[in-house]
Chains A and B, each alone.
Chain A
Amino acid sequence: MPSKKVSSKILEHELVPKHEIVSVEEGMEILRKYGIRPEQLPWIRANDPIVKAIGAKPGDIIKIVRKSPTGGEIVVYRYVVPPLV
Protein backbone atom coordinates (compact mmCIF):
# COMPACT_ATOMS: atom_id res chain seq x y z
CA MET A 1 0.00 0.00 0.00
CA PRO A 2 1.48 3.36 -0.93
CA SER A 3 1.76 5.39 2.22
CA LYS A 4 -0.48 8.48 2.24
CA LYS A 5 0.91 11.85 3.19
CA VAL A 6 0.63 12.61 6.87
CA SER A 7 -1.30 15.82 6.19
CA SER A 8 -4.18 13.89 4.63
CA LYS A 9 -3.97 11.16 7.27
CA ILE A 10 -4.50 13.50 10.20
CA LEU A 11 -7.80 14.75 8.79
CA GLU A 12 -9.13 11.20 8.94
CA HIS A 13 -8.11 10.52 12.54
CA GLU A 14 -11.03 9.76 14.84
CA LEU A 15 -10.03 12.49 17.31
CA VAL A 16 -10.17 15.17 14.61
CA PRO A 17 -13.64 16.64 13.98
CA LYS A 18 -14.60 18.08 10.60
CA HIS A 19 -13.06 21.50 9.96
CA GLU A 20 -14.05 23.76 7.09
CA ILE A 21 -13.34 27.34 6.13
CA VAL A 22 -16.37 29.60 6.30
CA SER A 23 -17.03 32.16 3.54
CA VAL A 24 -16.83 35.87 4.40
CA GLU A 25 -20.61 36.35 4.11
CA GLU A 26 -21.32 33.35 6.28
CA GLY A 27 -18.70 34.56 8.75
CA MET A 28 -20.40 37.94 9.04
CA GLU A 29 -23.70 36.20 9.56
CA ILE A 30 -22.25 34.12 12.42
CA LEU A 31 -20.77 37.16 14.12
CA ARG A 32 -24.06 39.00 13.80
CA LYS A 33 -25.94 36.04 15.22
CA TYR A 34 -23.77 35.94 18.36
CA GLY A 35 -23.27 39.71 18.49
CA ILE A 36 -19.50 39.46 18.87
CA ARG A 37 -16.27 40.53 17.23
CA PRO A 38 -14.26 37.77 15.52
CA GLU A 39 -11.51 37.72 18.16
CA GLN A 40 -14.15 36.87 20.76
CA LEU A 41 -14.58 33.46 19.14
CA PRO A 42 -12.29 30.70 20.41
CA TRP A 43 -9.00 30.83 18.56
CA ILE A 44 -7.06 28.38 16.50
CA ARG A 45 -3.43 29.01 15.58
CA ALA A 46 -2.38 29.37 11.94
CA ASN A 47 0.35 26.76 12.54
CA ASP A 48 -2.18 24.21 13.79
CA PRO A 49 -1.72 21.08 11.63
CA ILE A 50 -5.39 20.99 10.65
CA VAL A 51 -5.43 24.67 9.68
CA LYS A 52 -2.41 24.02 7.47
CA ALA A 53 -4.03 20.93 5.99
CA ILE A 54 -7.21 22.77 4.94
CA GLY A 55 -5.23 25.85 3.91
CA ALA A 56 -6.82 28.48 6.16
CA LYS A 57 -5.13 31.82 6.77
CA PRO A 58 -5.19 34.18 9.79
CA GLY A 59 -8.47 36.09 9.75
CA ASP A 60 -10.50 33.15 8.49
CA ILE A 61 -13.26 31.61 10.54
CA ILE A 62 -13.33 27.82 10.72
CA LYS A 63 -16.51 25.85 11.21
CA ILE A 64 -16.00 22.75 13.34
CA VAL A 65 -18.60 19.99 13.60
CA ARG A 66 -17.88 18.18 16.86
CA LYS A 67 -19.33 14.92 18.03
CA SER A 68 -20.46 15.94 21.47
CA PRO A 69 -21.30 13.30 24.08
CA THR A 70 -24.12 15.50 25.38
CA GLY A 71 -25.65 17.08 22.29
CA GLY A 72 -24.87 14.82 19.34
CA GLU A 73 -23.39 16.93 16.57
CA ILE A 74 -22.48 20.42 17.67
CA VAL A 75 -21.26 23.23 15.43
CA VAL A 76 -18.63 25.56 16.83
CA TYR A 77 -16.42 28.20 15.24
CA ARG A 78 -12.81 29.12 15.72
CA TYR A 79 -11.00 32.23 14.53
CA VAL A 80 -7.61 31.69 12.88
CA VAL A 81 -4.93 33.79 14.55
CA PRO A 82 -1.18 34.04 13.84
CA PRO A 83 1.00 31.46 15.59
CA LEU A 84 2.71 32.20 18.90
CA VAL A 85 6.24 33.49 18.44
Chain B
Amino acid sequence: MTSSSYLAPEEIAKITREYLEGKVPPKVVEESVEKLTKYSLTREELEKILQMIVEEYHSNTVDPGEPVGTVAAQSIGEPSTQMTLRTFHYAGVRELNVTLGLPRLIELVDAKKTPSTPIMYIYLEEPYKYDEAKAKEIARMIEMTKIENVARRIDIDVISGAVVIELDPAMLEDKGVTVEDVKKALEKLRSKKAKVVVSETNPYEIIVVFEEGIEPTKAVKIREKIMKIKIKGIKNINKVIVQKQGNEYVLVCEGSNLAEIMKVPGVDFKRVRTNNVKEVEEVLGIEAARTLLIEEIKDTLEQQGLDVDIRHIMLVVDAMTRYGTVKQIGRHGIAGEKPSVLARAAFEVTVKNLVDAAARGELDTLPGVAENVIVGGYIPVGTTKVKLVYNPYLR
Protein backbone atom coordinates (compact mmCIF):
# COMPACT_ATOMS: atom_id res chain seq x y z
CA MET B 1 0.00 0.00 0.00
CA THR B 2 1.35 3.41 -0.92
CA SER B 3 1.63 6.13 1.63
CA SER B 4 -0.62 8.36 -0.46
CA SER B 5 -3.67 6.34 0.54
CA TYR B 6 -3.13 7.32 4.20
CA LEU B 7 -5.36 10.14 5.34
CA ALA B 8 -3.91 13.43 6.55
CA PRO B 9 -4.55 14.26 10.25
CA GLU B 10 -6.95 17.06 9.26
CA GLU B 11 -8.96 14.66 7.14
CA ILE B 12 -9.08 12.13 9.97
CA ALA B 13 -10.34 14.81 12.34
CA LYS B 14 -12.99 15.94 9.87
CA ILE B 15 -14.30 12.45 9.10
CA THR B 16 -14.26 11.47 12.76
CA ARG B 17 -16.25 14.54 13.79
CA GLU B 18 -18.80 14.07 11.01
CA TYR B 19 -19.27 10.40 11.79
CA LEU B 20 -19.43 10.57 15.59
CA GLU B 21 -21.31 13.82 16.21
CA GLY B 22 -24.74 13.10 17.63
CA LYS B 23 -23.92 9.42 18.10
CA VAL B 24 -21.63 9.71 21.14
CA PRO B 25 -21.12 12.47 23.76
CA PRO B 26 -18.97 15.46 22.70
CA LYS B 27 -16.19 14.43 25.04
CA VAL B 28 -15.84 11.06 23.36
CA VAL B 29 -15.75 12.78 19.97
CA GLU B 30 -12.91 15.05 21.05
CA GLU B 31 -10.95 12.22 22.65
CA SER B 32 -11.33 10.10 19.52
CA VAL B 33 -10.12 12.95 17.33
CA GLU B 34 -7.13 13.51 19.58
CA LYS B 35 -6.14 9.84 19.57
CA LEU B 36 -6.87 9.01 15.94
CA THR B 37 -4.99 11.95 14.42
CA LYS B 38 -1.78 10.48 15.85
CA TYR B 39 -1.97 7.45 13.56
CA SER B 40 -1.68 7.00 9.85
CA LEU B 41 -4.85 5.34 8.70
CA THR B 42 -6.56 4.61 5.44
CA ARG B 43 -10.18 5.54 4.93
CA GLU B 44 -11.38 1.94 5.35
CA GLU B 45 -9.42 1.50 8.58
CA LEU B 46 -10.74 4.74 10.00
CA GLU B 47 -14.33 3.88 9.17
CA LYS B 48 -13.94 0.47 10.83
CA ILE B 49 -12.54 2.10 13.97
CA LEU B 50 -15.30 4.70 14.12
CA GLN B 51 -17.91 2.00 13.75
CA MET B 52 -16.31 0.13 16.64
CA ILE B 53 -16.22 3.26 18.79
CA VAL B 54 -19.97 3.73 18.38
CA GLU B 55 -20.59 0.02 19.07
CA GLU B 56 -18.40 0.11 22.16
CA TYR B 57 -20.16 3.24 23.39
CA HIS B 58 -23.58 1.64 23.04
CA SER B 59 -22.53 -1.57 24.75
CA ASN B 60 -21.36 0.53 27.71
CA THR B 61 -24.52 2.57 28.21
CA VAL B 62 -26.97 1.60 30.92
CA ASP B 63 -29.74 -0.73 29.74
CA PRO B 64 -33.37 0.29 30.25
CA GLY B 65 -34.63 -1.07 33.53
CA GLU B 66 -31.21 -1.32 35.12
CA PRO B 67 -31.48 -0.63 38.88
CA VAL B 68 -28.94 2.20 38.82
CA GLY B 69 -30.05 3.55 42.20
CA THR B 70 -29.37 0.26 43.95
CA VAL B 71 -26.03 -0.07 42.22
CA ALA B 72 -25.11 3.50 43.22
CA ALA B 73 -26.12 2.86 46.83
CA GLN B 74 -23.97 -0.27 46.99
CA SER B 75 -21.05 1.37 45.24
CA ILE B 76 -20.93 4.32 47.63
CA GLY B 77 -22.04 2.41 50.71
CA GLU B 78 -19.43 -0.34 50.68
CA PRO B 79 -16.30 1.87 50.37
CA SER B 80 -17.63 4.28 52.98
CA THR B 81 -17.58 1.47 55.57
CA GLN B 82 -13.83 1.62 55.24
CA MET B 83 -13.64 5.26 56.15
CA THR B 84 -12.54 6.51 59.51
CA LEU B 85 -15.55 6.68 61.75
CA ARG B 86 -13.77 9.02 64.11
CA THR B 87 -14.54 12.70 63.70
CA PHE B 88 -11.10 13.31 62.45
CA HIS B 89 -9.73 16.80 62.29
CA TYR B 90 -6.39 17.38 60.82
CA ALA B 91 -4.29 20.47 60.41
CA GLY B 92 -4.02 20.37 56.64
CA VAL B 93 -3.77 24.07 56.13
CA ARG B 94 -1.59 25.53 58.86
CA GLU B 95 -3.78 26.09 61.93
CA LEU B 96 -6.97 25.29 60.03
CA ASN B 97 -9.22 22.32 60.80
CA VAL B 98 -11.35 20.56 58.21
CA THR B 99 -13.89 17.81 58.84
CA LEU B 100 -13.07 14.82 56.69
CA GLY B 101 -14.00 11.22 56.17
CA LEU B 102 -17.33 9.71 57.16
CA PRO B 103 -18.51 12.64 59.30
CA ARG B 104 -18.10 14.94 56.30
CA LEU B 105 -19.86 12.48 53.95
CA ILE B 106 -22.79 12.21 56.35
CA GLU B 107 -22.92 15.98 56.60
CA LEU B 108 -23.14 16.23 52.82
CA VAL B 109 -25.83 13.61 52.21
CA ASP B 110 -27.84 14.91 55.18
CA ALA B 111 -27.88 18.37 53.55
CA LYS B 112 -26.90 20.08 56.80
CA LYS B 113 -27.54 23.82 56.96
CA THR B 114 -23.99 24.64 57.99
CA PRO B 115 -20.98 22.33 57.82
CA SER B 116 -19.17 21.77 61.10
CA THR B 117 -16.08 23.43 59.64
CA PRO B 118 -17.05 26.01 57.03
CA ILE B 119 -14.11 26.96 54.83
CA MET B 120 -13.79 29.49 52.05
CA TYR B 121 -11.17 29.72 49.34
CA ILE B 122 -10.89 33.25 48.02
CA TYR B 123 -9.01 33.79 44.79
CA LEU B 124 -7.83 37.29 43.94
CA GLU B 125 -7.74 39.48 40.89
CA GLU B 126 -4.73 40.84 39.05
CA PRO B 127 -2.89 43.36 41.22
CA TYR B 128 -3.44 41.32 44.39
CA LYS B 129 -2.94 37.89 42.91
CA TYR B 130 0.86 37.77 42.76
CA ASP B 131 1.67 40.19 45.57
CA GLU B 132 1.77 38.78 49.07
CA ALA B 133 1.57 42.21 50.72
CA LYS B 134 -1.50 43.18 48.74
CA ALA B 135 -3.13 39.80 49.38
CA LYS B 136 -2.56 40.33 53.09
CA GLU B 137 -4.19 43.73 52.77
CA ILE B 138 -7.43 42.13 51.58
CA ALA B 139 -7.11 39.39 54.16
CA ARG B 140 -6.95 41.99 56.92
CA MET B 141 -9.88 43.88 55.46
CA ILE B 142 -12.24 40.91 55.37
CA GLU B 143 -11.17 39.18 58.58
CA MET B 144 -13.73 39.80 61.26
CA THR B 145 -12.07 41.45 64.22
CA LYS B 146 -13.89 41.87 67.48
CA ILE B 147 -12.87 43.81 70.56
CA GLU B 148 -11.97 40.54 72.27
CA ASN B 149 -9.38 39.80 69.58
CA VAL B 150 -7.36 42.92 70.33
CA ALA B 151 -8.03 43.48 74.02
CA ARG B 152 -5.57 42.44 76.68
CA ARG B 153 -8.04 42.96 79.47
CA ILE B 154 -11.55 44.31 79.92
CA ASP B 155 -12.36 45.49 83.43
CA ILE B 156 -15.58 46.83 84.78
CA ASP B 157 -15.56 49.47 87.47
CA VAL B 158 -19.03 49.26 88.95
CA ILE B 159 -18.53 52.19 91.34
CA SER B 160 -17.63 54.80 88.72
CA GLY B 161 -19.75 53.14 86.00
CA ALA B 162 -16.87 52.67 83.59
CA VAL B 163 -15.47 49.90 81.45
CA VAL B 164 -11.73 49.93 81.03
CA ILE B 165 -10.39 48.23 77.89
CA GLU B 166 -6.68 47.79 77.61
CA LEU B 167 -5.63 46.96 74.06
CA ASP B 168 -2.75 44.78 73.05
CA PRO B 169 -0.41 46.74 70.74
CA ALA B 170 0.94 43.56 69.18
CA MET B 171 -2.53 42.32 68.31
CA LEU B 172 -3.54 45.72 66.95
CA GLU B 173 -0.52 45.62 64.67
CA ASP B 174 -1.28 42.06 63.58
CA LYS B 175 -4.91 42.78 62.73
CA GLY B 176 -4.16 46.17 61.18
CA VAL B 177 -6.41 48.09 63.55
CA THR B 178 -5.68 51.40 65.22
CA VAL B 179 -6.83 52.58 68.63
CA GLU B 180 -8.94 55.12 66.77
CA ASP B 181 -10.79 52.32 64.91
CA VAL B 182 -11.61 50.62 68.17
CA LYS B 183 -12.83 53.91 69.61
CA LYS B 184 -15.07 54.49 66.61
CA ALA B 185 -16.51 50.98 66.77
CA LEU B 186 -17.33 51.49 70.43
CA GLU B 187 -18.97 54.86 69.79
CA LYS B 188 -21.06 53.55 66.94
CA LEU B 189 -22.49 50.58 68.76
CA ARG B 190 -23.36 52.10 72.09
CA SER B 191 -27.08 52.67 72.22
CA LYS B 192 -27.04 53.79 75.81
CA LYS B 193 -25.54 57.07 76.81
CA ALA B 194 -21.86 56.53 77.20
CA LYS B 195 -18.67 58.45 76.66
CA VAL B 196 -15.68 56.84 75.01
CA VAL B 197 -12.32 58.33 75.94
CA VAL B 198 -8.72 57.27 75.44
CA SER B 199 -6.86 57.23 78.70
CA GLU B 200 -4.35 60.04 79.21
CA THR B 201 -1.80 57.92 81.00
CA ASN B 202 -1.85 54.96 78.61
CA PRO B 203 -2.49 55.44 74.86
CA TYR B 204 -3.65 51.82 74.57
CA GLU B 205 -6.33 52.17 77.21
CA ILE B 206 -9.90 53.06 76.30
CA ILE B 207 -12.42 53.96 78.94
CA VAL B 208 -16.15 53.80 78.33
CA VAL B 209 -18.06 55.80 80.94
CA PHE B 210 -21.75 55.10 81.31
CA GLU B 211 -23.64 58.12 82.51
CA GLU B 212 -26.33 56.04 84.17
CA GLY B 213 -23.79 53.83 85.86
CA ILE B 214 -23.64 50.06 85.64
CA GLU B 215 -25.95 47.80 87.56
CA PRO B 216 -23.77 45.18 89.22
CA THR B 217 -26.07 42.38 88.02
CA LYS B 218 -25.63 43.41 84.39
CA ALA B 219 -21.90 43.94 84.55
CA VAL B 220 -21.02 40.54 83.10
CA LYS B 221 -23.52 40.95 80.29
CA ILE B 222 -22.14 44.34 79.32
CA ARG B 223 -18.64 42.96 79.29
CA GLU B 224 -19.74 40.14 76.98
CA LYS B 225 -21.47 42.62 74.72
CA ILE B 226 -18.43 44.83 74.45
CA MET B 227 -16.20 41.87 73.69
CA LYS B 228 -18.41 40.88 70.77
CA ILE B 229 -18.40 44.32 69.12
CA LYS B 230 -17.17 44.11 65.55
CA ILE B 231 -14.40 46.53 64.69
CA LYS B 232 -14.05 45.61 61.05
CA GLY B 233 -14.35 42.75 58.58
CA ILE B 234 -17.11 40.54 57.22
CA LYS B 235 -19.49 38.56 59.41
CA ASN B 236 -18.55 34.88 59.87
CA ILE B 237 -15.08 35.26 58.35
CA ASN B 238 -13.23 34.30 61.49
CA LYS B 239 -9.70 33.57 60.46
CA VAL B 240 -7.95 34.33 57.19
CA ILE B 241 -4.73 32.68 56.11
CA VAL B 242 -2.76 33.72 53.04
CA GLN B 243 -1.60 30.65 51.18
CA LYS B 244 0.46 30.22 48.08
CA GLN B 245 -1.07 27.91 45.47
CA GLY B 246 1.09 27.60 42.39
CA ASN B 247 2.21 31.12 41.63
CA GLU B 248 -0.75 32.99 43.09
CA TYR B 249 -1.81 33.88 46.61
CA VAL B 250 -5.10 32.52 47.86
CA LEU B 251 -6.96 33.45 51.01
CA VAL B 252 -8.23 30.51 53.02
CA CYS B 253 -10.89 31.47 55.52
CA GLU B 254 -12.38 29.74 58.49
CA GLY B 255 -16.07 30.52 58.24
CA SER B 256 -18.06 31.35 55.19
CA ASN B 257 -20.04 34.27 53.83
CA LEU B 258 -20.27 33.92 50.06
CA ALA B 259 -22.68 36.78 49.30
CA GLU B 260 -20.55 39.38 51.11
CA ILE B 261 -17.19 38.11 49.88
CA MET B 262 -18.34 38.28 46.26
CA LYS B 263 -18.96 42.01 46.72
CA VAL B 264 -15.43 42.75 47.95
CA PRO B 265 -13.36 44.55 45.29
CA GLY B 266 -10.15 42.73 44.35
CA VAL B 267 -11.72 39.31 44.91
CA ASP B 268 -12.06 37.13 41.83
CA PHE B 269 -15.77 36.51 42.39
CA LYS B 270 -15.94 33.95 39.59
CA ARG B 271 -13.73 31.52 41.48
CA VAL B 272 -14.70 32.06 45.11
CA ARG B 273 -15.33 28.72 46.79
CA THR B 274 -17.03 27.63 49.97
CA ASN B 275 -17.75 24.16 51.31
CA ASN B 276 -21.21 25.20 52.50
CA VAL B 277 -23.63 23.62 50.02
CA LYS B 278 -26.76 25.27 51.44
CA GLU B 279 -25.16 28.68 51.19
CA VAL B 280 -24.24 28.08 47.55
CA GLU B 281 -27.83 27.00 46.91
CA GLU B 282 -29.07 30.30 48.33
CA VAL B 283 -26.56 32.55 46.58
CA LEU B 284 -25.78 30.75 43.31
CA GLY B 285 -28.79 28.50 42.81
CA ILE B 286 -29.58 24.81 42.63
CA GLU B 287 -27.33 23.97 39.68
CA ALA B 288 -24.27 25.43 41.40
CA ALA B 289 -25.21 23.51 44.56
CA ARG B 290 -25.38 20.33 42.49
CA THR B 291 -21.94 20.90 41.01
CA LEU B 292 -20.45 21.67 44.41
CA LEU B 293 -22.11 18.70 46.08
CA ILE B 294 -20.68 16.32 43.47
CA GLU B 295 -17.23 17.80 43.92
CA GLU B 296 -17.39 17.72 47.71
CA ILE B 297 -18.54 14.08 47.86
CA LYS B 298 -15.94 13.08 45.29
CA ASP B 299 -13.15 14.89 47.15
CA THR B 300 -14.22 13.41 50.50
CA LEU B 301 -14.10 9.88 49.10
CA GLU B 302 -10.88 10.42 47.16
CA GLN B 303 -9.20 11.96 50.15
CA GLN B 304 -9.80 8.66 51.99
CA GLY B 305 -8.26 6.76 49.11
CA LEU B 306 -11.57 5.36 47.89
CA ASP B 307 -12.30 5.01 44.21
CA VAL B 308 -15.98 5.50 43.48
CA ASP B 309 -17.15 6.17 39.95
CA ILE B 310 -18.38 9.73 39.61
CA ARG B 311 -21.56 8.54 37.86
CA HIS B 312 -22.83 7.00 41.09
CA ILE B 313 -22.23 10.24 42.93
CA MET B 314 -23.89 12.23 40.17
CA LEU B 315 -26.97 10.02 40.39
CA VAL B 316 -27.25 10.50 44.15
CA VAL B 317 -26.82 14.26 43.84
CA ASP B 318 -29.33 14.46 40.99
CA ALA B 319 -31.86 12.70 43.21
CA MET B 320 -31.09 15.15 46.02
CA THR B 321 -31.59 18.22 43.81
CA ARG B 322 -34.53 16.80 41.81
CA TYR B 323 -37.18 19.07 43.35
CA GLY B 324 -35.31 22.35 43.13
CA THR B 325 -33.87 22.37 46.64
CA VAL B 326 -31.09 20.32 48.20
CA LYS B 327 -32.83 17.50 50.02
CA GLN B 328 -31.22 15.03 52.36
CA ILE B 329 -31.18 11.33 51.56
CA GLY B 330 -32.73 10.11 54.78
CA ARG B 331 -36.04 10.13 56.59
CA HIS B 332 -36.77 13.82 56.04
CA GLY B 333 -35.81 13.78 52.39
CA ILE B 334 -35.76 11.32 49.53
CA ALA B 335 -36.51 8.15 51.52
CA GLY B 336 -39.24 9.85 53.54
CA GLU B 337 -41.11 11.10 50.50
CA LYS B 338 -41.42 7.92 48.51
CA PRO B 339 -44.93 7.54 47.12
CA SER B 340 -45.32 3.99 48.40
CA VAL B 341 -46.46 3.44 51.99
CA LEU B 342 -44.77 0.07 52.29
CA ALA B 343 -41.46 1.41 50.96
CA ARG B 344 -41.48 4.13 53.61
CA ALA B 345 -42.44 1.66 56.32
CA ALA B 346 -39.62 -0.64 55.23
CA PHE B 347 -37.07 2.15 55.70
CA GLU B 348 -37.51 3.69 59.14
CA VAL B 349 -40.16 4.24 61.85
CA THR B 350 -42.32 1.43 60.50
CA VAL B 351 -45.30 1.65 62.84
CA LYS B 352 -45.68 5.42 62.60
CA ASN B 353 -45.65 5.30 58.83
CA LEU B 354 -48.27 2.56 58.67
CA VAL B 355 -50.56 4.20 61.24
CA ASP B 356 -50.33 7.59 59.51
CA ALA B 357 -51.01 6.05 56.12
CA ALA B 358 -54.00 4.13 57.49
CA ALA B 359 -55.38 7.28 59.11
CA ARG B 360 -55.09 9.13 55.82
CA GLY B 361 -56.44 6.23 53.79
CA GLU B 362 -53.41 6.10 51.48
CA LEU B 363 -53.30 3.78 48.50
CA ASP B 364 -50.16 1.85 47.58
CA THR B 365 -49.95 0.95 43.89
CA LEU B 366 -46.70 -0.97 44.47
CA PRO B 367 -44.59 1.06 42.05
CA GLY B 368 -41.14 0.32 43.45
CA VAL B 369 -38.76 -2.40 44.58
CA ALA B 370 -39.11 -2.51 48.37
CA GLU B 371 -42.92 -2.79 48.41
CA ASN B 372 -42.89 -5.63 45.88
CA VAL B 373 -40.36 -7.53 47.97
CA ILE B 374 -42.74 -7.21 50.93
CA VAL B 375 -45.83 -8.45 49.09
CA GLY B 376 -43.89 -11.09 47.20
CA GLY B 377 -44.36 -9.61 43.73
CA TYR B 378 -41.95 -9.17 40.91
CA ILE B 379 -39.64 -6.22 41.45
CA PRO B 380 -39.90 -3.74 38.57
CA VAL B 381 -36.31 -4.11 37.43
CA GLY B 382 -34.92 -5.18 34.08
CA THR B 383 -37.37 -7.35 32.11
CA THR B 384 -40.14 -7.05 34.72
CA LYS B 385 -40.12 -3.31 34.26
CA VAL B 386 -41.67 -3.78 30.84
CA LYS B 387 -45.39 -4.32 30.72
CA LEU B 388 -46.84 -5.92 27.61
CA VAL B 389 -50.51 -5.81 26.88
CA TYR B 390 -51.96 -7.44 23.82
CA ASN B 391 -54.30 -5.13 21.96
CA PRO B 392 -55.99 -6.96 19.11
CA TYR B 393 -57.55 -3.75 17.77
CA LEU B 394 -54.26 -1.94 17.36
CA ARG B 395 -53.22 -1.88 13.75
* A48 and B310 in contact, given A13-B272, A42-B318, A72-B26 (Cβ under 8 angstroms): no
> Chain B: how many interface residues by the 8 Å CB criterion?
33
* A50 and B325 in contact, given A12-B269, A14-B271, A71-B27 (Cβ under 8 angstroms): no
The number of A-B residue pairs with CB atoms under 8 Å apart is: 92
- Whether, in the assembled complex, A10 has its beta carbon less than 8 Å from a beta carbon of chain B, the answer is yes
Per-residue contact bits, chain B 11-39, to A (CB 8 Å; 1 contact, 0 not)? 00000000000000111111000000000
B284 pairs with A16, CB closer than 8 A? yes
- The complex places the Cα of A73 from the Cα of B25 at a distance, in Å, of 8
- The complex places the Cα of A6 from the Cα of B292 at a distance, in Å, of 20
A71 pairs with B284, CB closer than 8 A? no
- The complex places the Cα of A43 from the Cα of B319 at a distance, in Å, of 11
- The complex places the Cα of A17 from the Cα of B289 at a distance, in Å, of 11
> With a CB–CB cut-off of 8 A, which chain B residues contact A50?
284-288
List residues 57-71 of chain A with CB under 8 A from any CB of chain B.
Answer: 64, 66, 68-71
- Whether, in the assembled complex, B262 has its beta carbon less than 8 Å from a beta carbon of chain A, the answer is yes
Per-residue contact bits, chain A 9-51, to B (CB 8 Å; 1 contact, 0 not)? 1101111110100000000000000000000001111001111
> With a CB–CB cut-off of 8 A, which chain A residues contact B323?
42-43
> With a CB–CB cut-off of 8 A, which chain B residues contact A48?
285-286, 324
Per-residue contact bits, chain B 252-291, to A (CB 8 Å; 1 contact, 0 not)? 0000000100110100011110000000101111111001
- The complex places the Cα of A23 from the Cα of B21 at a distance, in Å, of 25
Q: Is the interface of A mostly helix, strand, loop or mixed?
A: mixed
* A17 and B25 in contact, given A3-B263, A43-B322, A69-B310 (Cβ under 8 angstroms): no
Q: Please, which residue of chain A has its CB at the minimum distance from the CB of B289?
A: A15
> With a CB–CB cut-off of 8 A, which chain B residues contact A10?
262, 283-285
B259 in complex: contacting residue of A6, A64, A73, CB < 8 Å: A6
- The complex places the Cα of A81 from the Cα of B284 at a distance, in Å, of 17
A residues apposed to B, CB below 8 Å:
1, 3, 6, 9-10, 12-17, 19, 42-45, 48-51, 64, 66, 68-74, 78, 81, 84
A-B contacts besides A17-B287, A42-B318, A74-B25, 5 pairs, CB < 8 Å: A10-B262, A12-B269, A45-B324, A64-B287, A69-B310
29 A/B residue pairs, CB under 8 Å, sorted by A: A3-B263, A9-B262, A10-B262, A13-B269, A13-B271, A13-B288, A14-B271, A15-B280, A15-B287, A16-B288, A42-B318, A42-B322, A42-B323, A44-B285, A44-B287, A45-B325, A48-B285, A49-B282, A50-B287, A70-B25, A70-B27, A70-B310, A70-B314, A71-B25, A71-B27, A72-B29, A74-B25, A78-B286, A78-B287
